Chains A and B, each alone.
Chain A
Amino acid sequence: MITDSFHRFKLLAVLLMLVVLLAACVQSSSNDSETTTEDGKPIINIGRQTGSNPKLPEGDTFEDNAYTRAAEDVLDIEIRNAFEAEGEDYDRQVALAISSGDLPDMMIVSQEELKDLVDNDLIEDLTDVYEENASDYIKEIYAGYDNKPLEDATFDGSLMAIPGTDSLAAPQMTWIRADWLEELDLSIDEDGDRLITLDELEEVAKAFLENDPGDSGNPVGIPFENYLNAGGYGSFTMDSIAAVFEGQPKKYLIEEDGSITYGSTSEGTKQALEVMNDWFNEGIIDPQFGTRSFDDIMALLTNGQTGIATGAWHIPDWGLSNVREMDNNARFTAYALADDEGKVNVAEQKTTGGSFIVVKKGYGHPEKAVEMLNLFYDDIENTTEADMENTFPEVAEYLAQGVDDSTKPFNIVVLPMQTYLDDYQDVQAVLNEEMAVEEITNPQVRQNINGIKNYTENPEDVPTSNWSSYHSRIEGWGLMNKLTEEDRFNWIEAAYVGNTPTMEQRGSGLGSMEEEDFIKIITGAEPLDYFDDFVEKWHNQGGSEILKEIEEELAQ
């Protein structure tokens, strides 16, 4: 018996020891109590949104690179990363940081997170530090958007975050293989206004299908993603086709009487679906539409199976570039689809783009956030080439090497409303030799213009990056500029909508239903009249409430 209890005791002792051992590990006094370095510089722990291919030179990291060093020098601070992640993973890290009560000093959050943080009094009021410290240039930028971004970050009269901007609403463009048009001797856009009609697009698609100018042996029609419309100007979506009929799918439109309607349920969207259904039946739309992924569609273009793509002005930079890699002679022209009156209908929302920088409640140096904003979106953006070499030699080097913006510790975009049109004017001025490259203040544009020059001089033998710069800037920006100059735009006011309560509950269900029903209508699985059923379902399953909630929000 004695030995028994002794053994039991021994066991208990072992167990206890283990627990103590573990408890020793548990001992969690937080280790980030430091707020200043030894030599008195304030430390900023930043929640860092990163990019996946920053092209950082050897030895540099997201925590320690040309941009962070520049900021540390100029602002006399030390930057540390509380966490680094990108995309969804970043969102998760933010949620984890918030729920464990361990906020970094500064971080980028979304509109919803901002609301939660404000509601729970976790972040610093920036009204005064912004007023006192923001440069005039920065204030002008926001003013260019009618101060809407600042309003989005203002709660009960207090500015609670620094908002990013979403520059210039733009039309979704239709990119068509120019070399094929020439090869087949097709003439569209005879008046040269870069506007085409649906009929012309149809004609081109048919000609490409019949003649297979890409020699692929298996030409397909116009490719589309299975989500047919995106919030922004997506690629391979139906937005530009619907815009012809003044349908603006996925947008919440502000009507003249102040009421809100949902673009996907509009008559215009229905008409667009009718056209697409006809096209699908005639084979003008990719017969495998609905199951193609983004990569599949890129493959169709790269293979020369199709030569038509709908997308943003910058799609040549990261998408169409593959086409030129495979076929050195490939060239694209960007067109805009116009309605019967020759107008291009575009939804416009003056918004924040959904990114906000917040400062943790109680952090000692909130003014550093605003100073950092000045540094990255005023000082560095407005430095000529010569000055850059002197003041920020490392940053100049980064720009020359194409190091990503995501290496900036403070990566929200704050750019003037008209930024691309202004940049286009600069590019044209340089090409017409009215201006020297050195005079351009935006360092990125300086980079592009050299590529564009190379391409125009010798289109066949230059690297694809030059081809891309030419296409996105001269073709893409050029189209935007032309449409602006000739007053072709018909702006339709859309509301920026975060997440209303019903949207949080029903939003994704409604979204899936929309995707599913639109595909069914186009592929003919359901007749066109099914659209009316969709509209009814959409309203009944929460859509009506969403519209009401948005109206209330806007009325405030």
Chain B
Amino acid sequence: MAINNQGTTIRHRKKDVKKAKLTYHAMLAPGMIFLLIFSFTPMFGIIMAFQDFVPARGFFGSEFVGLQHFQYMFDLPDIARVFRNTIVIALGKIIFGSLLAIMFAILLNEIRLKLLKKSVQTIVYLPHFLSWVVLSTVVVNLFNLDGTVNQMIEFFGFEKINFLGSNTWFQPLLIGSDVWKEFGFNSVIYLAAIASVDPGLHEAASMDGANWWKRVWHITLPGMLPIILLLAILSLPSVLDGGFDQVYNLYSPIVYETGDTIDTYVYREGLVGRDYSFGAAVGLLKSIIGLTLILSANNAAKKFTERKLF
């Protein structure tokens, strides 16, 4: 009786699995159609990177120049410096930004005063909504030679620092101000991850006498780990994004040496040359590098955590 029963469920299940597969395809279909139309169809435009694109000639009339734009990019005198700056700035933002966001999420989760918790959470996520055009004036007023920060530095008897005009301080300033702007918003995702951790585990650990640190270390963090890893991997392609708006609104020729990034550089190039093709070539290169990074990181993650993230 029992065996027979099981046999039918298995058969049923097999059918179900096939049926389920079809449903899976159907569920993916609408999204895929949108991607096909709005992402993949326009990709014919990538040929622009290999052309000397002139709007009046269009994609069919513009002259093909092969890899000339890539060649040109690597011949630019400042290209090494621009790549180096971009990577340093972007990595700094990713690393410090994630660390602060994770830390803040964990600490905020400990706050028991509901009103305080809610208001702090709302406040820290606000800077995310302000554009750098607006925030740059705030940053400049704080950090210029007569700014609040320098007044404090002077008060403590140190020499004033020209943060905005110093090649030593400009990168830390970019990283710091971006971390400040985004950590609150980024912490939202980690709060969601913490909320998904089974509270039962915490209770059990408390019973065993584990202190707060131990519980964070052994329960909360491991619970968040997949999301932390996922976000780290997904942020990898952005190591080639210095954050155009921020840099553009804060930099000046004095700090080109440490502050000029790929995006700002291409922007200045493009303004003079209306160079759509050059922009497309840089974009394509960034995409290829991003794809390589993300795929290899995913494979590495599989090796170490025995779990592919996507």
A: residues with CB less than 8 A from B are 4, 7-8, 11, 14-15, 18-19, 22, 91, 95-96, 98-99, 101, 112-113, 116-117, 119-120, 122, 218, 226-227, 287-288, 290-291, 293, 295-296, 499, 503-505, 507-509, 511-512, 515-516, 519, 523, 541
User: Closest residue of chain A to B32, judged by CB?
Assistant: A15
Least CB distance, A494 to chain B, in whole angstroms: 19
User: Closest residue of chain A to B143, judged by CB?
Assistant: A291
B202-210, B232-240, B251-259 - the one binding chain A: B251-259
Least CB distance, B2 to chain A, in whole angstroms: 28
Ordered nearest first, which 8 A-B pairs have the shortest CB separation?
A: A508-B272, A98-B55, A99-B55, A116-B56, A515-B253, A120-B56, A504-B273, A291-B165
Least CB distance, B25 to chain A, in whole angstroms: 6
The answer on a CB contact under 8 Å between B273 and A508 is: yes
A523 to B268, CA, bound (A): 24
A450 to B112, CA, bound (A): 67
* 18 interchain pairs, CB-CB under 8 A: A8-B22, A11-B26, A11-B29, A15-B29, A15-B33, A95-B274, A98-B55, A98-B56, A99-B59, A112-B274, A116-B57, A218-B146, A226-B253, A288-B145, A503-B272, A507-B273, A516-B256, A541-B77
Q: Does B241 contact A (CB under 8 A)?
A: no
The answer on a CB contact under 8 Å between B22 and A499 is: no
> Which residues of chain B are near A122, meaning CB under 8 Å?
56
User: Closest residue of chain B to A295, judged by CB?
Assistant: B137
Q: Does B58 contact A (CB under 8 A)?
A: yes
User: Closest residue of chain A to B166, judged by CB?
Assistant: A291
Least CB distance, B162 to chain A, in whole angstroms: 7
User: Closest residue of chain A to B269, judged by CB?
Assistant: A508
User: Closest residue of chain A to B164, judged by CB?
Assistant: A291
Q: Which residue of B19, B140, B144, B271 contacts A7 across the interface (Cβ within 8 Å)?
A: B19
Tell me whether chain B's interface is mostly helix, strand or loop, or mixed.
helix
The answer on a CB contact under 8 Å between A499 and B56 is: no
User: Closest residue of chain A to B145, judged by CB?
Assistant: A288
> Which residues of chain A are near B18, meaning CB under 8 Å?
4
User: Closest residue of chain A to B268, judged by CB?
Assistant: A508
Using a CB-CB cutoff of 8 Å, which residues 136-156 of chain B contact chain A?
Answer: 137, 140, 144-146
A226 to B140, CA, bound (A): 15
Least CB distance, A116 to chain B, in whole angstroms: 4
Q: Which residue of B29, B33, B140 contacts A296 across the interface (Cβ within 8 Å)?
A: B140
> Which residues of chain B are near A541, meaning CB under 8 Å?
77
Least CB distance, B216 to chain A, in whole angstroms: 42
> Which residues of chain A are near B164, meaning CB under 8 Å?
288, 291
> Which residues of chain A are near B274, meaning CB under 8 Å?
91, 95, 112, 504
A226 to B29, CA, bound (A): 53
Task: Tell which of A4, A523, A541 has the most Cβ of chain B within 10 Å.
Answer: A4
B: residues with CB less than 8 A from A are 18-19, 22, 25-26, 29-30, 33, 37, 54-59, 61, 72, 76-78, 137, 140, 144-146, 162, 164-165, 252-257, 268-269, 271-276
The answer on a CB contact under 8 Å between B253 and A11 is: no
The answer on a CB contact under 8 Å between A512 and B254 is: no
> Which residues of chain A are near B76, meaning CB under 8 Å?
509
Q: With A122-B56, A504-B273 given, is the CB distance from A519 to B146 under 8 Å?
A: no
Least CB distance, B167 to chain A, in whole angstroms: 10
> Which residues of chain A are near B275, meaning CB under 8 Å?
504
> Which residues of chain A are near B273, meaning CB under 8 Å?
499, 503-505, 507-508
> Which residues of chain B are near A8, meaning CB under 8 Å?
22
Q: With A503-B272, A504-B275, A509-B77 given, is the CB distance from A18 to B30 under 8 Å?
A: yes
The answer on a CB contact under 8 Å between A288 and B55 is: no
User: Closest residue of chain A to B137, judged by CB?
Assistant: A295
> Which residues of chain B are near A509, meaning CB under 8 Å?
76-78, 269
Least CB distance, A277 to chain B, in whole angstroms: 15
Least CB distance, B132 to chain A, in whole angstroms: 13
The answer on a CB contact under 8 Å between A505 and B19 is: no
Least CB distance, A510 to chain B, in whole angstroms: 9
> Which residues of chain B are near A11, meaning CB under 8 Å?
22, 25-26, 29
The answer on a CB contact under 8 Å between A291 and B144 is: yes
The answer on a CB contact under 8 Å between A18 and B33 is: yes
Least CB distance, B279 to chain A, in whole angstroms: 12
Least CB distance, A223 to chain B, in whole angstroms: 13
Q: Which residue of A18, A120, A226, A507 contacts B61 across the interface (Cβ within 8 Å)?
A: A120
> Which residues of chain B are near A117, meaning CB under 8 Å?
56
A423 to B15, CA, bound (A): 90
A218 to B145, CA, bound (A): 11
> Which residues of chain B are near A508, meaning CB under 8 Å?
268-269, 271-273
User: Closest residue of chain A to B278, judged by CB?
Assistant: A505
Least CB distance, B3 to chain A, in whole angstroms: 26
